Homo-oligomer: A and B are copies of this chain.
Amino acid sequence: MIPQLRTSAPDFANSFAVLRRQLNDEDVSAVVANIIERVRADGDKALLELTVQYDRAPLESAKKLVVPAETLSQAHESLAPELQAALRAAAERIEEYHRRQLPQSWQYTDFNGNTCGERITPVARAAVYAPGGRAAYPSSVLMGVIPAKIAGVREITLLTPVADGAVPPITLAAAKIAGADKVFTLGGAQAVAAAALGTDTVPRADVIVGPGNAYVAEAKRQLCGIVGIDSLAGPSEVLIVCDDTANPEWVAADMLAQAEHDERAQCITVSPDAALLNQVAAALVRQLETAPRAAIARHSLVSRGALITAANIGECCQLANDIAAEHVQVMCADAPAVAANIHNAGGLFIGAYSCVPLGDYGAGPNHVLPTAQTARFASPLGVHHFIKRTGIFQATAAGARIPAADAVTLARAEGLFAHAEAAALRTKA
C-alpha cells in the first residue's frame, strides 16, 4: 500500500526526487487577485458579497461579521468542563513556552563612545487567521493569539470562517481564553484582504498570521510587503526517524495521525531497520481498517507517503535535513543524540513519548510550522512575528568624529557627495 524505498536501490535518487517534488497548488492567483481588488475598491460591500458567495447565508450588514463579546463569553461558559479544562491547560503550556521567546531591547557604548542598540516594540495590530469551514480548530486560535498577546500587541483580531452557518463554540471559547480583542466571522482570501487593507468594519492589521487553505496562503503572498505575514502554509508533513527500539504500532499510529489531515499530507518514515519498516507497513494496513478518516489517510499514504530503508542513522539524518519536514519525530535508542544532527525541521519531537499530536494540542511549542521544505530558512509561528526591531544610533559630539570621517571617505568613493557633506559637519566638534 504505502511505497517502500531503499537508499541503496539504484533508482533511489529518482524515487526520492519524485517524493520530494512539491505539489503545485491549483492556480488560484487570478481568483485571489480579483478578490483583493474588490476588497480594496469596495471595502465592506465587497466583503459582504464575497462572504455570501463563498461562505454563508446573506448578512444584513458588515457589522454582523463581528462576533459580540457576549457570544464569546457564552461559548466559553457553555463548553463541556473537560474541554474547557483541556483548552485552559493547553493555553497555559503555550504561554509558558512562548514567553521565553520575547526578545529584549539592548544597547551598548562602543569604543568611540557612541550608543548603539536595538529597540524591540510590538506591532500595533495583528490579525490571526484560524481555518474553519469543515472543522473547528480551537488549538490554532491559541497558537496564533497567545504569542501576539505576549508580544504586547495592542489589538488582536481573530478571523475565522463559519462552519455550517456559525463559528463553532469551541473556537469562540478558545478566542476568549487566549484573549483575542475582536472576532470576525470571515474566511478565505477576502478575510486576509480586509485585514491587510482595512475596511470600515475590519481594522487594518500590521501583521496577519495563521494557516489556511490555498486561497488564504495566496492572499498572504500577494499582500506581503503591504502587511507582515508568517510563512505560507502548505499540506502538513511528518518525518519519523526510528531504529529497532521503536514500536511499529506507535510509528504507524503517528503516521496515520498526520495522514488523516489531508489527502495531500506527506508522511515518511526512515530507518536503518527494514524489518521494522515492514512491521510499520503491516500496522498501517491494520490500523486503517478501523480509522474513521481512513479514506483521506489512505490516499495520503499511497500517493505521498513512504517508508525508506537507509544504510544507517547518519543517512536517516541526512535525508531528514534534505526533506526539511514540518514535523520530525525521532524514535531511537539515543533520540536526543540523533535529533542533534537534524537541523532542518519545523518542530522536533524527541523520543517515543513525544508524538506530533501532543504538540498539535499545546504541549508547549507552536504548531504553526514551516512546510514544503521551508524549514531550511523559516521558523515556527512565534512572538518574533509580532515584534519589530528598530536600530538605534546615538552619537556624542566627540564620538561621532571617527565614524563621520570614515563616512566622508566612503561616501566620496561611492560618489554620494551630499552624504559626505552631512558627515563632514559631524567631524568638526
Contact = CB atoms under 8 A, between A and B. Distances in A.
Interface of A: 82-83, 86-87, 89-90, 93, 96-97, 100-101, 103, 106, 108, 110-111, 114-116, 118-119, 121, 123-124, 135-139, 170, 206-207, 221, 224-225, 227-228, 231-232, 249-250, 253-254, 256-257, 259-261, 287, 291-293, 297, 335-336, 339, 343, 345-351, 353-366, 369-370, 372, 374-380, 382, 384, 388-397, 399-400, 402-407, 409-411, 413-423, 425-426, 429
B110 A106 contact: no
Contact of A413 (B136, B261, B399): B136
Contacts of A139: 410, 414
9 contacts: A123-B377, A135-B416, A253-B418, A257-B416, A257-B421, A347-B393, A349-B394, A354-B393, A357-B420
A424 to B, nearest CB: 9
A105 to B, nearest CB: 11
Given A393-B354, A410-B83, A256 B421 contact: yes
A422 B238 CA distance: 13
B206 A407 contact: no
A253 B425 contact: yes
B426 A391 contact: no
A118 B100 contact: yes
A360 B335 CA distance: 47
Contacts of A410: 83, 86-87, 90, 138-139, 361-362
Given A87-B410, A116-B365, A422-B253, A388 B397 contact: no
Count the copies: 2
Contact of A110 (B87, B93, B382): B93
A375 B358 contact: no
Contacts of A287: 418, 421
A250 B135 CA distance: 61
A409 B375 contact: no
B357 A422 contact: yes
Given A379-B388, A423-B357, A414 B89 contact: no
Contacts of A366: 391
A282 to B, nearest CB: 17
Given A97-B110, A139-B414, A225-B374, 4 more contacts: A100-B108, A115-B350, A257-B421, A362-B410
A49 B364 CA distance: 51
A413 B136 CA distance: 8
Given A221-B224, A291-B417, A390-B375, A358 B257 contact: no
Given A90-B410, A374-B225, A395 B351 contact: yes
